[in-house]
Amino acid sequence: MKILTLNSGSSSIKYQLFQMEEETVLTGGLVERIGLDESRVVHRLYGKDTPRKLVREIPIPNHEKGLEVIADLLVDPAHGAIDHTSEVEAVGHRVVHGGEHFSDTTLIDEEVLKTIRRLIPLAPLHNPHNLRGIEVAMKIFPEARQVAVFDTAFHQTLPPEAYRYAIPNHYYEKHGVRVYGFHGTSHHYVSKMAAKYLGKAPGETNLLTIHLGNGASITAVRAGESVDTSMGFSPLPGLMMGTRSGDIDPAVIFFMQKALGMDIDTIDALLNRESGFLGMTGSSDLRDILEKYKKGDRNAALALSLYTYRIKKYIGAYFAVLGRVDALVFTAGVGENSPYVRWHACEGLDALGISLDRQKNENPGDGITEIQSHRSRVKVLVIPTDEELEIARQVRSLIGSKRLL
Ligand code: ADP
């Protein structure tokens, strides 16, 4: 069974074609700068040897053309992996916001499309592009089943005390103002991998999954289900991120508007795109910030302290939520690659039974690794996330179960 995963953003489409029997990636890549100058596609063909990479700079005015280029590459005799697009049995689409309607992976039909469209006000920056990707894929892969995998779905198990805000009920009941949570596909994937690694059923496993990429969030997982998460109504709150502020007193927004005369779109851009590491240091990439820190840059030092302090604070809070924690899981670009961040986020948590081994933390090796010290009661794992594989697995499982019906 061949499954194609698609992640359609405002100016990009990421794709991977999986052979599901072996769970191997046949080809994959990225179409970027759609609708802009210098658009291009970076395509990789995986085989027994090192992957072959192809870069083509061609005008890609819209998503339709982008997906046509992808389809052509998939069947290209020299660079593709299939003879005909009809070999793609299903297309799994990453959809950022599923609201309260979708607590699971869902086969797409007209009703589902309508609901995703209705949810646009909740995710104006993401859902329109996800939707566009689905509509175009329906044309280009007409034989394939189209499936939506929602970033919010894993968090639909949050209890009301975790998902409601303390504002009049009307805003929730009429307008859907509540915590939704994001990065669900990644938290779900690493939590299942962690349970498997620990030799336990997901239903017996309590975890703190810490996803640190450009966006960052931490989730409390009880018995395999998300029970609290640091992002909220939008992906803005919680941990400090590459360009987002994370938690901030909403009164700062009133102050900026009333006392500083800033309009709401400017404040929105400030908190979502010009804050976090970028706002504090001038760079959003942790590698640059660590370099600056090594050279004695005081802003970089402060930003790193704030970043790791926030993670630690959430570890403490979610430890209290869960009561018993089997493992902490670090994942995504920063979580998988930064010993500095892992060390400082866990420093001083001995009282919670959490301590790292300096050597193991510095050189965790490949795959799933343990980095806690011998006296740590809680295991601390580094697990590479794979959102595309999780999407493909969920699609396989859904269409497998639909076959039996
Ligand atoms: P995205 O949210 O875009 O998927 P990623 O999960 O790829 O992001 O994470 C991107 C972040 O990971 C960047 O801040 C980058 O600096 C950081 N990162 C990647 N590799 C390393 C590394 N070796 N050391 C420290 N940080 C790293």
Complete DSSP assignment for 197-243: HHTS-GGG--EEEEEESSSEEEEEEETTEEEEES--SSS-SSS--SS
Mutation pick for ligand 1 pocket among 214, 272, 331, 344 (CB with most ligand atoms within 8 Å): 214
For residue 277, the ligand 1 atom closest to its alpha carbon is: 14
The two structure tokens encoding residue 326: 């089997």
Catalytic-residue membership of 151: yes
Q: Please give the pLDDT value at position 175.
A: 95
Q: For the chain, give me the number of helices (H) and strands (E)? A: 15, 14
Whole-Å CA distances, 276 to 111, 184, 353: 38, 22, 30
By the 10 Å C-beta count (0-12 exposed, 13-18 middle, 19+ buried), 56 is classed as middle
Cβ distance 51 to 59 under 8 Å? no
Q: Please give the pLDDT value at position 49.
A: 72
Cβ distance 231 to 364 under 8 Å? no
Q: pTM value?
A: 0.95
214 C-alpha to ligand 1 centroid (Å): 6
Mutation pick for ligand 1 pocket among 186, 210, 217, 338 (CB with most ligand atoms within 8 Å): 338
| Atom 13 (ligand 1) nearest CA | 285
216 C-alpha to ligand 1 centroid (Å): 11
Measured between alpha carbons, how far is 14 from 128 in angstroms, rounded to an integer? 16
Q: Please give the pLDDT value at position 165.
A: 98
217 C-alpha to ligand 1 centroid (Å): 14
Q: Please give the pLDDT value at position 403.
A: 60
Q: Please give the pLDDT value at position 300.
A: 98
What tens-digit pLDDT sequence spans the chain (405 residues)? 999 999 998 899 999 999 999 999 999 999 999 998 899 999 999 987 777 899 999 999 999 999 999 999 999 998 999 999 999 999 999 999 999 999 999 999 999 999 999 999 998 888 999 999 999 999 999 999 999 999 999 999 999 999 999 999 999 999 999 999 999 999 999 999 999 999 999 999 999 999 999 999 999 999 999 999 999 999 999 999 999 999 999 999 999 999 999 999 999 999 999 999 999 999 999 999 999 999 999 999 999 999 999 999 999 999 999 999 999 999 999 999 999 999 999 999 999 999 999 999 999 889 999 999 999 999 999 999 999 999 999 999 999 876 645
For residue 284, the ligand 1 atom closest to its alpha carbon is: 14
| Half-sphere exposure for 6 (CA within 13 Å, toward CB) | 35
Q: Which of the residues 151, 228, 326, 386 is marked catalytic?
A: 151
What residues are in contact with ligand 1 under a 6 Å CB criterion?
Answer: 213-215, 242, 285-287, 332-334, 337-338
Nearest 5°: the CA angle 311, 313, 318 is 95
Q: Please give the pLDDT value at position 402.
A: 65
Site of tokens 């646009």 = 120
**Residue 314 DSSP class:** H
For residue 286, the ligand 1 atom closest to its alpha carbon is: 16
| Atom 23 (ligand 1) nearest CA | 337
247 C-alpha to ligand 1 centroid (Å): 21
Q: Please give the pLDDT value at position 125.
A: 85
Mutation pick for ligand 1 pocket among 243, 287, 291 (CB with most ligand atoms within 8 Å): 287
Q: Which domains does the chain have, with CATH numbers?
A: 2-150 (3.30.420.40), 200-387 (3.30.420.40)
